[in-house]
Amino acid sequence: MKKTGAWLTCYALEQIGVTRVFGIPGAHNADIYRELEHSARITPHLVTHEASAAFMADAVSRTTDTIGTLLVVPGGGITHATSGIAEAFLSGIPLLVIAGGVEQQTGHRYQLHDIDHHSLLKPITKATFLVESANDIAPTLFEAYRCAMEGERGPVFVEIPIDLQANSFDVRTLPEFHGHPNQPHLDSAAIEEAAQRLINAKQPGLFIGWGARHASASLQALSSHLGAPVATTLQGLGVFPASHPLHAGMGFGPAAVPSAQQAFADCDCLLAVGTRFSETSTGNYGMSPPANLIHVDINPDVFNANYEAALTLQGDGKAVVDALLSRVSELKPNAANSQVLAKTIATLKQEYLDSWLKLPGDRVNPARFLTALRTHLPADALLACDDGNHTFLAAELFPILPGGNFISPSDFNAMGYCVPATNALKLCHPDQVVVGIVGDGAMMMTGMEAITASKYHLGVIYCLFNDGELSQRSSQRPGRYGAMSKLGEADWIAFAHAVGCEYVAVEDNQEIESALNTAMSLAAKQQPVFMDVHVDYSRRSAFSEGLLKARQKQSGRTSRARWLAQALKDKIVG
């Protein structure tokens, strides 16, 4: 039978379970897009920018069982997407990045988009593949998928030359996809030792990252059985629900909220699952885990990189936690009494929230807004944040409940993530309420993607935390950047209407409730909504305060003196 390379590409994507493809068609991928338009299983989505395609694919991978996929043109399409690809790479998110390639058969040089895409993408992908014959298209995509999903997950790149897409070839048999990759075998001796260390500890604790996302139920049971407080990374906020009585907060070092700092003050054995102990999760390495550290991760390269572990255990997070829960329950049949610890955590959480709620000011108190937002949303609402000051305020003041999720950029700090990610969340989870929180700086980067929500009638709410400057940059260093952090004036009413969104303003605390009621009502009618929140950023988050102290501590005397002088000058001069 005769099949084009574009048809074989679509066939392979259907076999590995791809359901949505994001990107922009062009001369070098148009044949594949034509096939996708006729697919009964895959929906192609046009975006306004390839960076948005990467962020949307990222959100698909984070919150579904399918791999996020983007189809872009070579050259500018790839370079535009690299921020999203790199964000996924550093966060361990699988992506399938497909681009058309220049013709292989002509022998011509200096073709359109003719650059070495593989060298460009090698540092930010797990692997890159160049398809050289039509018979290799499906097997290459199957192998790329296996690579993306095996071990620590991440993005892969596949280049399919334009002539292979367009031409027809004799295909005798279609290659078969043989399922998901294997995971590492569990070390039973290490499981036994880890279980023994946990039950022998006076105060064990759990530190949970994104790599443990499929182990939420077992982690909750293990925490309750051991009487162990739980802290999460930024991405781990969607793994362990804040409603659990032993959930202490994000992190547990100097950059954590008081409930987490207190809960882990006497921790003598830490079980860390699915975290690299990277810069953001440790508050710029201000965290001090106990010597009795048990580190579990699918990727052995993360072990002992930033903190020395007493015991390392390679494996899938869910498989390891399930095995540990079983063994701990056998060795220690009776659950620990954690009522005092749980009460302490609850009290400190409430005190921290109260300290925010009582702040005076003419603008919108972020704690008042986030508290009201939480009460208006169902437990399983999905929240996407961007990179900014609002991210850490949401992490501290907006509890993620069972069934819900939280996604945001992490160590790559890719601004512009929220709006496209919010759209993708709603596309993939149409029956759940989806909200994005985005700073005005990030909105200026990818806010045009809101027109995609309008096009697809997505009832999402973009909470625009508007203060007219790049506040995160100022909040995490002494002093201010001055004019360099100030943004230009934007007419957000006109912008919202230009991209087909409804507009709701929240200028002070008294308008929060009515504005949320209006926004929720409009979103329920499949209308995207801009909420222009005139936020008050006069107080730093606990994370920003702790990060600032960690950086000062790690800096030399000259740097500390310079920072102090700048801070004093800013305070006096303004």
The pLDDT-based confidence of 533 (bands split at 50, 70, 90) is: very high
Over residues 467-491, the mean pLDDT reads 67
The pLDDT-based confidence of 454 (bands split at 50, 70, 90) is: very high
Quote the CA–CA distance of 210 and 385 in Å, as a whole number.
16
Tell me what pLDDT residue 183 has.
77
Distances (CA, A) of 204 to 133, 188, 200, 201, 338: 55, 21, 9, 6, 12
Residue 476, pLDDT above cutoff 60: no
List, in sequence order, every residue forming a beta bridge with 424; answer none if it has no partner. none
The pLDDT-based confidence of 238 (bands split at 50, 70, 90) is: very high
Tell me what pLDDT residue 106 has.
56
The radius of gyration of the chain from alpha carbons, rounded to an integer in Å, stands at 25
The pLDDT-based confidence of 107 (bands split at 50, 70, 90) is: low
Residue 558, pLDDT above cutoff 80: no
Tell me what pLDDT residue 553 has.
75
Residue 426, pLDDT above cutoff 90: yes
- For all residues of the chain together, what is the average pLDDT? 92
The pLDDT-based confidence of 549 (bands split at 50, 70, 90) is: confident
Distances (CA, A) of 412 to 350, 421, 433, 541: 32, 16, 27, 20
Tell me what pLDDT residue 172 has.
79
Higher pLDDT, 14 or 163: 14
Q: What digits encode the pLDDT tens for the residues 294-334?
A: 999 999 999 999 999 999 999 999 999 999 999 999 999 99
Tell me what pLDDT residue 569 has.
57
Tell me what pLDDT residue 572 has.
56
In the CATH hierarchy, which fold is given to the domain comprising 2-170?
A: Rossmann fold (3.40.50)
Tell me what pLDDT residue 474 has.
54
Over residues 530-548, the mean pLDDT reads 95
> Where in the chain do CATH 3.40.50.1220 domains reside?
188-344
- Tokens, residue 338: 């954690």
Quote the CA–CA distance of 16 and 4 in Å, as a whole number.
19
Over residues 58-73, the mean pLDDT reads 97
Tell me what pLDDT residue 488 has.
78
So what's the architecture of 188-344 in CATH? 3-Layer(aba) Sandwich (3.40)
Residue 276, pLDDT above cutoff 90: yes
Beta strands in 408-552 (DSSP E): 434-439, 461-465, 502-506, 529-533
Over residues 519-546, the mean pLDDT reads 96
Distances (CA, A) of 236 to 84, 240, 357, 406, 408: 19, 7, 25, 8, 11
Tell me what pLDDT residue 424 has.
98
Q: What are residue 276's phi and psi, to 5 degrees?
A: -95, -5
Tell me what pLDDT residue 416 has.
97
Quote the CA–CA distance of 295 and 311 in Å, as a whole number.
6
Residue 478, pLDDT above cutoff 70: no
From the candidate CATH numbers 3.40.50.720, 3.30.70.1230, 3.40.50.970, 3.40.50.360, the one assigned to the domain spanning 359-542: 3.40.50.970
The pLDDT-based confidence of 221 (bands split at 50, 70, 90) is: very high
Residue 33, pLDDT above cutoff 60: yes
Higher pLDDT, 517 or 490: 517
Nearest in space to 367 (alpha carbons), one of 345, 392, 339:
392
Q: Judge whether 236 and 298 are in contact, CB under 8 Å.
A: no
Tell me what pLDDT residue 151 has.
92
Over residues 363-391, the mean pLDDT reads 97
Residue 473, pLDDT above cutoff 60: no
Q: pLDDT above 90 covers what percent of the chain?
A: 84
Quote the CA–CA distance of 346 and 341 in Å, as a whole number.
9
Residue 486, pLDDT above cutoff 70: yes
Nearest in space to 470 (alpha carbons), one of 487, 454, 455, 482:
487
Quote the CA–CA distance of 212 and 231 in Å, as a whole number.
13
